Amino acid sequence: MDYNENNQDKKPFRQKIISLLKIVIIALMINILIKGFLIRTYTVESGSMENTLMVQDRVVTEVVSRYFTQPARGDIIVFVFPDTNMKTGEQKIRMNTFEYSKYVISNLLKFQKPADIEEEYVKRIIGLPGDIVDIKNSKVYVNGEMINEPYLENQNITNITSSNIKYPYTVPSNQYFVLGDNRQNSNDSRQWGTVPYENIIGKAMFVFFPISNIKKL
């Protein structure tokens, strides 16, 4: 067997590898586009939003509207936990689509599975940028008016659970004050402050699993 025959044997193998890499890259790009610009699914892992969202509920989150409209009070949002340093105000900002793509590709080139390095939370927006949020007599006030919260269960009161936030509290620019619907069992803005706009992934639209819990949010 001469050199040319050896080369011909190797060629199909190389072509298979190249074809496989193309399929992986295309699939990755489609995944990034869908997650970054269309919809995402989220699995509820805590009871902080009960009884609106139950543990292990699967939620469809739409990502598109954040590019055209601002989040509204009452929206249920999925976001990257900012892990705010309450002394310095420093926050962990979510990776943008380019950064996420670069991170995933660099891991794939090392034949490593990309780790889930961003912790995702789901909460309800209570205070918008510039709003004055207050908690008095276990009730929530925004801009001096007690807000109507029909999604709260009876006896589900809102306590002040941290000395880090001083009330009345003015929500900073580009930030959102969020609370869980299960107020007595929720780690939220009362403990770690507000959510930067950049960290918002999208708005939760409906529960699609389990079947018994299917509903629009």
- Annotated catalytic residues are 48, 123
Distance CA 159, CA 68 (A): 34
Tokens of 115: 């780790």
Nearest to 171, CA basis, from 210, 209, 202, 132: 132
Residue 46, judged by CB atoms within 10 A of its CB (0-12, 13-18, 19+), counts as middle
DSSP annotation of 94 reads P
C-alpha distances (whole Å) from 127 to each of 26, 74, 165 are 40, 9, 14
For 210, residues 6+ apart whose C-beta sits below 8 A from its C-beta are: 56, 57, 58
Q: How many CA atoms lie less than 13 Å away from 14 in the CB half-sphere?
A: 6
Amino acid in position 138: S
